[in-house]
Amino acid sequence: MAQTLTDASENPSANAQHNVAEINKSLRECRDQMLDIRSQRRDLNEQAGDIRKRVKDLGVDTRIFEQNVRIHEMESEARAAYMTDFQICYEAMNQGDQMDWVTASGAEQAAE
């Protein structure tokens, strides 16, 4: 014999039907929050674009600048390991340039 459910707590579907107003309210709140986030994201993207333009106007490649920002965000040990690996790869590929920027800067000043 089939059992009948009279209590809404025994029937999740009945609970959902009874909570339609609460669900609708929550969904509208989520929608409003998502719209706020999208607006903030647009504003932040515009600000980031202004920064990239400023960096480009300074004559610096924005990809290199952004990579350096990512490196700056690393913990000191991870940053040191990254820079060591970068230097190893750079030297292994025989780039022919001076990797030590301090020494390179001194050489440029001496040449002037």
pLDDT digits (tens, 9 = 90+) for 36-77: 999 999 999 999 999 999 999 999 999 999 999 999 999 999
* Residue 96 pLDDT exceeds 90: no
pLDDT at 106: 58
* Residue 10 pLDDT exceeds 70: no
Average pLDDT across the chain, whole number: 82
Cβ proximity of 62 and 56 under 8 Å: yes
Angstrom CA distances, 23 to 3, 11, 15, 29, 32, stand at: 28, 17, 11, 10, 14
pLDDT at 25: 93
* Residue 7 pLDDT exceeds 60: no
Domain map (residue ranges) of the chain: 13-60, 61-96
- Cβ contacts of residue 91 below 8 Å, gap of 6+? 99
For the entire predicted model, the pTM comes to: 0.54
